[in-house]
Amino acid sequence: MRILNKKNIIAVLFILLIYAAGEIMLRQGIIDSYIELNIILIGINIILAVGLNLVTGFTGQFSLGHAAFMAVGAYTSAILTAKFNQPFIVAIIFSAIAAALAGVIIGIPTLRLKGDYLAIATLGFGEIVKILALNIDYIGGARGFMDIPKYTNWTWIYFMVVLSIVVIKNFIDSRGGRACISISQDETAAEAMGINTTKYKILAFVIGAFFAGIAGALYANYFYFIKPDSFGYMKSIDILVIVVFGGMGSIAGSVVGAIVLSLISLFLQSIPELRMVIYAVILFLIMVYRPQGLLGKGEIKLKFLRKRVA
């Protein structure tokens, strides 16, 4: 079977190796709980950024409401694990499905819009979700949702990151992915080439929302506590910054972007007064001197590994 070709076997070994290394370092205490917290946050940001990159980077649809899908996932998972004592895997699956459904509902009317109009519409959607969460007492309202069981750990975060990257990468390298990229290049020409542009825009949106739902579930089940404010438009913009910083249209860029930006704000924590200023200056410089983002549209290939093994 082609699935078991050399390239894929090496990729799987590589993935397992990183997982094992992380697990060993955790058990040995080389990674303390503070570093673990940051790794979890980076992982959640990677999942969010890779999903948003499919929508904004590859398909060219500017969305400012990505955190809302994360909120849908987080609250779904919180309800299922805290109120109904469901296992985490069930909660994750339903969170992803709930967020994807929200993606369909919001995608069908808004994706007729273009550019700035779409950005404003998605921004509005994000606020609607936040305000809904604020006003529903069942999920804690403004007080937040408390006592969510903690399930998220290195294993969950790592394999969910891998899942999101593999699924989105495989999608991009297929008939549907090419259709999405062509829409971002020239929508009129794409339609003339036989592409149902509405369908593919919604599909990209739904896949992005699906993974944002997973990210939300991982988030909720790590911090015991979630509140509507955590999923406001500032969070959406944070994710967008990662995507643009890493490179619109590069999955590796989103991964690198999430890691680099988290590390930058981590190192800046020792100078809290200037933290946001320096962070902003770094973003500014990158955009001036490398407007296409760190990796542009490039991807990191595992070729160097393959050569050594072969």
How many residues appear in the chain? 310
- Residue 293 zone, left/alpha/beta (φ > 0; ψ -120 to 50; rest): left
Q: Does 2 bind another protein (CB under 8 A)?
A: yes
Residues 3-22 that bind another protein (CB under 8 A): 3
Task: Give residues 236-255 in contact with another protein (rule: CB under 8 A).
Answer: none
Which of 57, 103, 177, 228 touches another protein by CB under 8 A?
A: 177
- The stretch among 21-29, 112-120, 170-178, 300-308 that binds another protein (CB under 8 A) is 170-178
**By the rule CB under 8 A, 299 interacts with another protein:** no
Where is 27: in which H helix or E strand?
Answer: helix 6-28
Candidates 46-54, 62-70, 79-87, 165-173: pick the segment binding another protein (CB under 8 A).
165-173
Nearer to another protein, 141 or 176 (CB): 176
Position 188 contacts another protein (CB under 8 A): yes
**Integer distance in angstroms from the first to the last C-alpha of the chain?**
20
Q: Torsion-angle region of residue 250: left (phi > 0), alpha (psi -120 to 50) or beta?
A: beta
175 binds another protein (CB under 8 A): yes
Q: Which stretch binds another protein (CB under 8 A): 22-30, 62-70, 173-181, 214-222?
A: 173-181
Two tokens at 261?
């930006």
Contact flag: residue 303 with another protein (CB under 8 A): no
Residues sharing a CB contact under 8 Å with residue 275, sequence separation 6 or more, in sequence order: 265, 268, 269
Residues 197-236 touching another protein, rule: CB under 8 A, are 197, 203
How large is the angle between the packed helices 233-246 and 66-78, nearest 10 degrees?
Answer: 120
Q: Does 56 help bind another protein (rule: CB under 8 A)?
A: no
Closest of 141, 143, 130, 61 to residue 102, by C-alpha: 130
DSSP state of 145: B
Q: Which residues bind another protein (CB under 8 A)?
A: 1-3, 167, 170-171, 173-179, 181-182, 185-186, 188-197, 203, 297
